[in-house]
Amino acid sequence: MTVNGWLQILVFCAVLIAIAPLLGGYMAKVYTGRRVFLTRVVALPERLLYRAMGVDPNREQDWKSYAKSLIIFSLAGWLILYLVLRTQSIQPWNNYGGVAFHAAPWNVTFNTTSSFLTNTNWQYYGGETTLTYFSQMVGLTVQNFASAAVGIVVAIALIRGIANRTSSNIGNFYSDMVRTILYVLLPLAFISALVLMSQGVIDNLSHYVSVHGISGIAQTIAMGPVAGQEAIKELGTNGGGFFNVNSAHPFENPNGFTNFYEMLLVLAIPAGLVFTYGKMVGSRRQALAVFATMFVLFFAAVTVAYAAEAHGSPAQHAAGLHTQVVADSTGGNLEGKEQRFGIAGSALFDVVTTVTSCGAVNSSIESFTGLGGAVPFANLSASEVIFGGVGTGLYSILLYVLLAVFLGGLMVGRTPEYLGKKIEAREIKLVALGLLITPLTALFSTALATASAAGRASISTVAAGGPQGFSETFYAYLSQANNNGSAFAGYTGFIQPAAGNAGSHGVTFADLLGGFTALFARYAPILFALAVAGALAGKRVSPVGLGTMRTDNATFVVLLIGVIILVGALTFFPALLLGPVVQALTGHLYH
């Protein structure tokens, strides 16, 4: 570890803490219908958009109606995306990669469609060898916006449920979504795209460039409309790379500054929404309690990951490499990492995108050390509550808050209340179901994939002997269940002999199981979160008394952290033991 490495991490944290309340306050204004500086520009397009969509933005919906709109909108989005991806052979901008691009097979497309719709962005394909520019833009970029907006509006609906004092309605789905895109996502994404381009992120509609290098060796350089998608990919915690190696590709992430900026984009909305919540429920201290909980867990993860990666891997030590920091070299486990990011920039990026549902990577997680690799596992095991995905993070941790309030209430022997609203049997049942679905789906799918020959067929034949094979499998389904999308990338669901998909085929088992895992673990918790919103929305608020349990002090933060770790650990510990923990505890090398 180096002083500079720690400095990068601390500066990142400081900037994040500085911008989160600003963005959060702005979003609170957007969702309570107040004027913001963009209103003058956006109000007219907003009205036109409602008219084009045939939506009445003032029609308040109860949770069932809200959920119905969300599900049907998602269904329509799924069909359109599948259609776009399956019609590549007749699309414009097709043979820009030097060969005509066919559509990927149905099973891989099913996985990709489900994955981008659910904000997972798991990729069994490599962008530059599989997708046309048209698919990237008209297919994937659209869902980068839409799926992010869907996540955010659920969080907003849940906040309204907690905050409402008079009505059991929780807002209008289409209005919330349109406002999210127009006021938050679009302006930030557009400016960010310009910032990224100024640093060397490409954005063009050129053919791939074929060159002869200075040794005369032929090289084809993939091109494409990258910057626009890159910006929303990070901002919407989507994480699906334009290129196969995602943010490790120099055209997606060319230097230390872009790496920093992209990490900030990933956390901006999840961290900001916590303060949106504080504003909307009228208590900044509640927001600070939630933020503190997230931040403590985040910082712990960064520390472990950085220390582990700086230490180096058993394979490196067996090869006789010296992995300590020396003059002009970062040392550490640089396997699968880029020189320009080094150890600190890779470890931090890894934690940022696995605590959130982003799942972008700037290094190969498969090549992280056992302990360093256990960090993303642990982050995913916490079910996206350490900042989490845009919206998903906030609604997930609010479910945990309700659970902690309930447990706290049991300990002190009083009726649990949160912000004056009684938490009763119905809410706690919904909360428990909402929280357990994601982990259970992950474990069930992992068990299925490990126990069947069809599932084991996806395990990498390179370097994935022993516990690594299990880690790969487990990570694949944990990642898809948490709608994260990062991967131990040796796990495969797509066999592609040549660029352009001629003769390619999918691994049906992995493709379908992964796709269904992502869909189920996305929409079921959304329904439960909305149901909780509905159940809380109509409740009367009782005044704060002497015996009311405080939910905005350090004691509650400790309780909340305890509950999160307890649920995550109890659910996942046995599985984690079999993979990453074994690898972290041994210097043994496996075939």
Partner 1 sequence: MRRDLLIAFRSIVVITILFGLGYPLLVTGVGQVIFPGKADGSLIKRDGKVVGSALIGQQFYENVIGKNGKVQMSKGEPVTQPDPRYFQTRPSGTVPADNAAGSSFANYGPNSTVTLAALQSNIAGYLALNTAPDKRLYDPHVTSAAGVPVDAADTSASGIDPDISVANATIQAYRVAAVRHLSLVTVDRLVAQYTTARSLGLLGEPGVDVLELNLALDRTGNGSH
Q: Of 38, 55, 307, 565, which lies in the binding site for partner 1, with binding defined by CB under 8 A?
A: 55
Residue among 217 and 546 whose Cβ is closer to partner 1: 217
- The gap from C-alpha 578 to its chain's centroid, in whole angstroms, comes to 25
Min CB(65)–partner 1 separation in Å: 9
Whether 20 contacts 272, CB under 8 Å: yes
Q: Of 107, 114, 141, 486, which lies in the binding site for partner 1, with binding defined by CB under 8 A?
A: 141
**CA geometry: angle 21, 23, 25, nearest 5 deg:** 65
Min CB(420)–partner 1 separation in Å: 34
Min CB(456)–partner 1 separation in Å: 16
Min CB(224)–partner 1 separation in Å: 10
Site for partner 1 in 443-502 (CB under 8 A): 460, 462-468, 488-490, 499
Q: Give the number of other Cβ atoms within 10 Å of residue 466's Cβ.
A: 15
What values do phi and psi take at 505, rounded to 5? Answer: -150, 155
Instruction: Name, in order, each residue with C-beta under 8 angstroms of 161's C-beta and a sequence gap of 6 or more.
Output: 63, 170, 532, 533, 534, 535, 536, 537
Does residue number 148 form part of the binding site for partner 1 (CB under 8 A)?
A: no
Min CB(395)–partner 1 separation in Å: 22
Burial 278-300 (b: 16+ CB within 10 A, else e): bbbbebeebbbbbbbbbbebbee
Q: Please report which helix (H) or strand (E) contains residue 495, including its range.
A: strand 494-495
Does residue number 190 form part of the binding site for partner 1 (CB under 8 A)?
A: yes
Residue among 19 and 186 whose Cβ is closer to partner 1: 186
Min CB(368)–partner 1 separation in Å: 7
Q: Of 151, 171, 342, 455, which lies in the binding site for partner 1, with binding defined by CB under 8 A?
A: 342
Residue among 166 and 215 whose Cβ is closer to partner 1: 215
Does residue number 523 form part of the binding site for partner 1 (CB under 8 A)?
A: no
Q: Of 88, 229, 356, 483, which lies in the binding site for partner 1, with binding defined by CB under 8 A?
A: 229
d(CA 474, CA 577): 11
- Per DSSP, 452 falls in state S
Site for partner 1 in 349-368 (CB under 8 A): 361-364, 366-368
Whether 259 contacts 172, CB under 8 Å: no
Q: Of 53, 544, 566, 570, which lies in the binding site for partner 1, with binding defined by CB under 8 A?
A: 53
Distances (CA, A) of 448 to 96, 443, 455, 473, 514: 40, 9, 7, 10, 11
Stretch touching partner 1 by CB under 8 A, among 100-108, 245-253, 451-459, 478-486: 245-253
Min CB(239)–partner 1 separation in Å: 15
Does residue number 75 form part of the binding site for partner 1 (CB under 8 A)?
A: yes
Burial 251-260 (b: 16+ CB within 10 A, else e): bbbbeeebbb
Q: Of 31, 251, 275, 520, which lies in the binding site for partner 1, with binding defined by CB under 8 A?
A: 251
Q: Of 3, 18, 54, 413, which lies in the binding site for partner 1, with binding defined by CB under 8 A?
A: 54
